[in-house]
Chains A and B, each alone.
Chain A
Amino acid sequence: MAVALILLLVAIGSVLFHLYSPWWWTPIATNWAYIDHTINITFWITGFVFVAVIAFMAYCVFRFHHKEGRRADYNPENKKLEWWLSVGTGVGVAAMLAPGLVVWHQFVTVPADATEVEVMGQQWQWSFRLPGKDGRLGTSDVRNIASDNPMGLNRDDPHAQDDVVIENGDLHLQMGKPVKVLLRSVDVLHDFYVPEFRAKMDMVPGMVTYFWITPIRTGTFDVLCAELCGAAHYQMRAKVIVDEEREYHAWLEQQKTFAELSPARAVVKATYQSGGK
């Protein structure tokens, strides 16, 4: 019976494709292997249901397709069967939801020892900022943005002066250190997306959003924008480099602070423009 066979082949083909296709997730580079595990659990449960439903359907088509003299059964309901199927589905759903919620709890609970870095998106480039020696990021405001202050830092905030500002460069992170990535945009929605990190979050003008990760392997990773941000969305690229501690500090030493990047004259001008705020 050709139709039943084709239906069955669709299910079998899908499973074989899943098992043997070369396209699979990128090797993970952060602590979020939990997310991968949850996806795997979901694949197992949904894969089972998919094959079971289609195999049953294909069997019905094979066994009960019209022949001269066949007459269908008349059975409007089967309460017991319907309840069993509902309960079984509920159990399957719970088996996916429970680990999902547990991992979500971890995802939104930033460890206390996480250091902060800031990623700022604008059409169509990335900027990065790291806290300076004081370990704190200074305040910022989109109204402070000027050609010599592209990230809009607050010049009157002493915490801002020693912040490390990276324009048109790559971001380095230190292996094994939890980091809270603060996300900010000055124009439209963007999304800081590194596939190997698994974590991602939109950047929304007027808000600061975040996610946290602990890098678990060194390497260079592509940064893409994952939220449509206009004509050159697809060209909004940067790189994140995860270093061992020594290389990381060597890199950090070479970076310029906000105070070094903006001459004193600009401070006066900006104060004047922003009405002395």
Chain B
Amino acid sequence: MVDIPYDGIAGIPPAEVPEVELYHPRSWWTRYVFSQDAKVIAIQYSLTASAIGLVALVLSWLMRLQLGFPGTFSFIDANQYLQFITMHGMIMVIYLLTALFLGGFGNYLIPLMVGARDMVFPYVNMLSYWVYLLAVLVLASTFFVPGGPTGAGWTLYPPQAILSGTPGQDWGIILMMSSLILFIIGFTMGGLNYVVTVLQARTRGMTLMRLPLTVWGIFTATVMALLAFPALFVASVMLLLDRLLGTSFFMPSLVEMGQLSKYGGGSPLLFQHLFWFFGHPEVYIVALPAFGIVSDLISTHARKNIFGYRMMVWAIVGIGALSFVVWAHHMYVSGMFPQFGYFFATTTLIIAIPTAIKVYNWVLTLWRGDIHLRVPMLFALGFIITFVNGGLTGLFLGNVVVDVPLSDTMFVVAHFHMVMGVAPIMVVLGAIYHWYPKVTGRMLNDLLGKFHFWVTFLGAYLIFFPMHYLGLLGVPRRYFELGDTSFIPSSAHSLNAFISVVALTVGFSQMVFLFNLAWSLFKGEASGGNPWRATTLEWQTPETPPGHGNWGKELPVVYRWAYDYSVPGAAEDFIPQNQPPRATQLVQGAAS
């Protein structure tokens, strides 16, 4: 066993860091609205993302009503169904998960965890949120324009997305593209901030290999997003031009509603390549922050150092790099050059290895731990199960020839919901239970939290696990109704009804969570600064919630890695990162 040194900079002088020039708020407006404090921006991002996320949740209920009980709800027609699935997918992937992990958790945790006073460009950081808000408003406005939102599916594949056989062809698709372009502009401003802050604003002693895995996850995801989103940006601009000016980037000669269209010479596959060059890294943009955060949740609540920290860091970086050469596994049946299949199947299955290492290291962290089954830990366990399940079904879909019968079926829907819907949301929820005390100074209610966990975890599993088997049977996705189809037995319709009932139950149980968030804000038990007895810097702030500037007069100095839990000989079962080695020895001396 290799011992990671945690007292490597014993001789460091005390920090005498003057407070940098921060833009302190001078009025209510600059404190709560146009604030340049990353923590306020984080909360703004989180609330906006959650609000639009609730819209997506309601859309999923409407979809499930239709799928579970076709023909019963006359207010849902085929066009609306397609609009629901499109908006649900787009909101969940981009406007909720990406914004929440990077804009929400990234803004709140990065400066605190690396020991910075704020993001390095606070004004740009503020601008990032307001552009994001504008993107969300433009997106939401499509529900109210003539023709409604686009129903092209969240993948927005042309030619279909901009032709008249698809709902939302007049305003919906134009505003969708505009909103995506705005989102990417806003994200780029925030993303540059996160990257530069991690690289440049770490406090003294905070080497890269002492960063908590949360920061590694968010940092790597941000770098990936900065490289991947431009592909979506150009694809959006080109599709917008095809739609508005009649250019033909993605449009070959084709017939539209019986008439030969004016388009010609473009390639629909080009869009798919651009979309998935963004779209696959996007999966890991959502997953890597979740990987990082869950590592810290597990370590803290199992009172044990994360197992194989260095391997975990390299796995995050390796997954990030590999995820740029696997995109065409979304296109095995797209009609692309068939020989690509060998390459993309191989890279896709190779990515399973660093991903598996992460899973092993999470469960090995539990081994001989001191596991406190508090709500954040429960969500972390729920994450491991759903992520392992969803990751393993990825091995089906990544293996080119196995994908052929399964693609475009409910198997795919079940897979990606399990792996990048349920699993990351388990982490989001666990993380909220974990950091809520730091953000508000109060604990969330434990009983309500446990109820919320069990209903959400077991319910989500009951929704998506059986759904794989519908796909295996051959039930296609994006179908308004299955109609009279000989290979689909009536039992499959019963299963669909069952899934819908569970989905509605899980959906409504989130209201318990929202109530808990609101109630605990005023009535929750006071938490103190470090209720979980955690090592990382955000728990060592002089005030809780931390004030603007985070650290009072002096920045913390870091002496050790983020995982000194249950160090042999130490009196406490955790040693904060900013505790000098000498102090530890004194404690040790006292203990012995």
User: CB of A261 within 8 A of chain B?
Assistant: no
| Cα distance, A49 to B370, chains bound together (Å) | 25
Which residues of B pack against A, CB within 8 Å? 1-4, 78-79, 82, 151-153, 157, 159-160, 163, 165-167, 252-257, 260, 266-269, 302-305, 307-311, 333-335, 338-339, 341-342, 345-346, 349-350, 352-353, 356-357, 359-361, 363-364, 366-373, 378, 381, 384-385, 388-389, 392-393, 395-396, 399-402, 404-409, 458, 461, 465-466, 469-470, 472-474, 476, 478-483, 485-487, 489, 491-492, 495, 563, 565-568, 573
B378, closest chain A residue (CB): A3
Instruction: Find B474's partner among A25, A204, A231, A237 (CB 8 Å cutoff).
Output: A25
A56 to B333, CA, bound (A): 37
Interface status of A272 (Cβ within 8 A of chain B): no
Known contacts A142-B253, A193-B408: does B369 contact A60 (CB below 8 Å)?
yes
Q: Is the CB of B163 within 8 A of A187?
A: yes
Q: Would B466 and A100 count as touching, CB distance under 8 A? A: no
Q: Bound state CA distance, A23 and B498, in angstroms? A: 14
Please indicate the chain A residues that have their CB under 8 angstroms from the CB of B166 in the complex.
188, 230-231
Q: How far apart are A97's CB and chain B's nearest CB, in angstroms?
A: 5
**Residues in A neighbouring B470, C-beta threshold 8 A:** 23
A71 at interface, CB cutoff 8 A: yes
Min CB distance B100 to A, Å, is: 26
Partner of A7 from B305, B342, B385, B407 at Cβ < 8 Å: B385
Q: Is the CB of B342 within 8 A of A101?
A: yes
Given the interface pairs A38-B399, A66-B372, the reply to whether A53 lies near B469 with Cβ below 8 Å is no
**Most chain A beta-carbon neighbours within 10 Å: one of B254, B399, B407, B485:** B399
Q: Tell me if B357 and A89 are in contact (CB < 8 A).
A: yes
Contact of B357 among A85, A188, A198, A233 (CB under 8 A): A85
Closest to A73 in B: B368
Chain A 66-105 per-residue mask, 1 if CB under 8 angstroms from chain B, else 0: 1000111111111101100110011001001100110110
Q: Is A54 in contact with chain B by the CB < 8 A criterion? A: yes
B417 to chain A, nearest CB (A): 16
Residues A24 and B371 in contact in the complex (CB < 8 Å), given A42-B399, A89-B353: no
Q: How far is the CA of A78 from the CA of B305 in the complex (A)?
A: 13
Residues of A within 8 Å of B393, CB to CB, are 46
Contacts of B151 in A (CB 8 A): 231
Listed A/B pairs (24) with beta-carbon separation below 8 Å:
A22-B491, A23-B472, A23-B492, A38-B402, A54-B385, A54-B388, A66-B373, A78-B307, A85-B360, A96-B349, A100-B345, A101-B342, A101-B345, A101-B346, A108-B341, A191-B408, A198-B404, A201-B333, A202-B334, A206-B254, A206-B266, A222-B487, A228-B160, A232-B78
> In the complex the two chains form, is A76's CB within 8 Å of B563's CB?
yes
Interface of chain A residues 91 through 132 with chain B (CB within 8 A): 93, 96-97, 100-101, 103-104, 107-108, 122-124
Residue-by-residue, is A13-34 near B (CB-CB < 8 Å gives 1, otherwise 0)? 0100110011111100000101
> Is A179 among interface residues, defined by CB-CB distance under 8 A?
no
Asked whether, in the complex, the Cβ of B371 is within 8 Å of the Cβ of A65, the reply is yes
Q: Are A199 and B404 in contact (CB under 8 A)?
A: yes
Q: Taking A26-B487, A89-B356 as contacts, is the C-beta distance between A64 and B479 under 8 angstroms?
A: no
User: Which residues of chain A from 181 to 224 have any CB-CB distance to chain B below 8 Å in the complex?
Assistant: 183, 186-189, 191, 193, 195-196, 198-207, 209, 220-222, 224
Whether A60 contacts B367 in the complex (CB less than 8 A), given A104-B341, A142-B254, A187-B255, comes out as yes
Interface residues of A (CB under 8 A from B): 3, 6-7, 10-11, 14, 17-18, 21-26, 32, 34-35, 38-39, 42, 45-46, 49-50, 53-54, 56-57, 60-61, 64-66, 70-79, 81-82, 85-86, 89-90, 93, 96-97, 100-101, 103-104, 107-108, 122-124, 141-143, 145, 183, 186-189, 191, 193, 195-196, 198-207, 209, 220-222, 224-235, 237
Complex contact B255–A198 (CB within 8 A): no
A56:B363 contact, CB within 8 angstroms: yes
Contacting pair B478 A196 (CB below 8 A):
no
Tell me if B373 and A26 are in contact (CB < 8 A).
no
Q: Are B357 and A187 in contact (CB under 8 A)?
A: no
**Max chain B Cβ within 10 angstroms of own Cβ: one of A50, A74, A123, A203:** A74
User: With A23-B492, A24-B473, A193-B408 in contact, is A206–B267 under 8 Å at CB?
Assistant: yes
Contacts of B349 in A (CB 8 A): 93, 96-97
- The interface residues of chain B lying within 8 Å CB-to-CB of A188 are 159-160, 163, 165-166, 254
- The interface residues of chain B lying within 8 Å CB-to-CB of A71 are 303, 370, 566, 573
